[in-house]
Amino acid sequence: MPGFEREAVAPADVTVAVLAALRPAAEPIRAEASSQGIAFVRRLFEGWASGANRFDQPGEIFLGLWQQDRLVGFGGLNRDPYTAEDDIGRLRHVYVLRSHRRRGLGALLVRYLLREAEGHFRIVRLRAASPDAAAFYRRLGFAECADPAATHVVPVPVGPSSLKTPRHGPSRTNGMAARG
Ligand SMILES: CC(C)(COP(=O)(O)OP(=O)(O)OC[C@H]1O[C@@H](n2cnc3c(N)ncnc32)[C@H](O)[C@@H]1OP(=O)(O)O)[C@@H](O)C(=O)NCCC(=O)NCCS
């Protein structure tokens, strides 16, 4: 998958973990996104609070990027609700704090999410929220697509890691510690 090789290594003090709850850790991200006029973070909080979307269906996961004890970014993988095909995943609500951008953290997060898609989804797609986001996903190897429900798509690689432990129930974190 082009674009991922260089970003594969996390900075030493950054960890990726399943985000078990949005509050309180994600509150600074919600506040920053709101001040920037980015609506999808508010929708994330609303969907989580109502139970409409907690990324807890088969194949789904929501990950946080932590720098020590500070949550500096997050993003999730849903089954794509805009299609009846159940082998299409959708990246959602990917956000990195402004103070931490252009350090490879967004790419790292997406790499983890795509790894989680293995064995569950054939392709992963998304709707880029802005031209900058579109450039980010293009850089990561996503192709533009003409579907009305998505702007970018990437095939999910099939490899040995697709034989991993199911993530729901006690092994949901697939070896990653859950935080939040
Ligand atoms: C998009 C976003 C997640 C990128 O996070 P990030 O941690 O800064 O991304 P990375 O540092 O991993 O970037 C990897 C590469 O993507 C490209 N890229 C990232 N941000 C870009 C931007 N604003 N404009 C153009 N290219 C960009 C670059 O090629 C970058 O590599 P480089 O820094 O060596 O040039 C972040 O800017 C963000 O949270 N934006 C606001 C929310 C948003 O739009 N989310 C996407 C929703 S679809």
* Per-residue pLDDT tens over the stretch 73-120: 999 999 999 999 999 999 999 999 999 999 999 999 999 999 999 999
Domain range list for the chain: 14-179
- Of the candidates 52, 42, 140, the residue with the CA atom closest to the CA atom of residue 91: 140
Q: d(Cα 93, Cα 1) in Å, to the nearest integer?
A: 22
The CATH superfamily assigned to 14-179 is Gcn5-related N-acetyltransferase (GNAT) (3.40.630.30)
DSSP 8-state class, residue 87? T
Which of 66, 78, 97, 136 for a ligand 1 pocket mutation test, highest count of atoms within 8 Å of Cβ?
Answer: 136
- Of the candidates 11, 7, 81, the residue with the CA atom closest to the CA atom of residue 47: 81
CA of 62 to the centre of ligand 1 (A): 19
Q: d(Cα 88, Cα 15) in Å, to the nearest integer?
A: 27
pLDDT single digits (tens) 36-66: 999 999 999 999 999 999 999 999 999 999 9
CB neighbours (10 Å) of residue 105?
A: 21
Mean pLDDT within 14-37? 97
Query: pTM for the full model?
Result: 0.90
Please check the confidence at residue 121 and state whether its pLDDT lies above 80.
yes
Instruction: Kindly state if the Cβ of 105 falls inside 6 Å of ligand 1.
Output: yes
Q: d(Cα 26, Cα 6) in Å, to the nearest integer?
A: 27
Instruction: Kindly state if the Cβ of 103 falls inside 6 Å of ligand 1.
Output: yes
Q: d(Cα 106, Cα 73) in Å, to the nearest integer?
A: 8
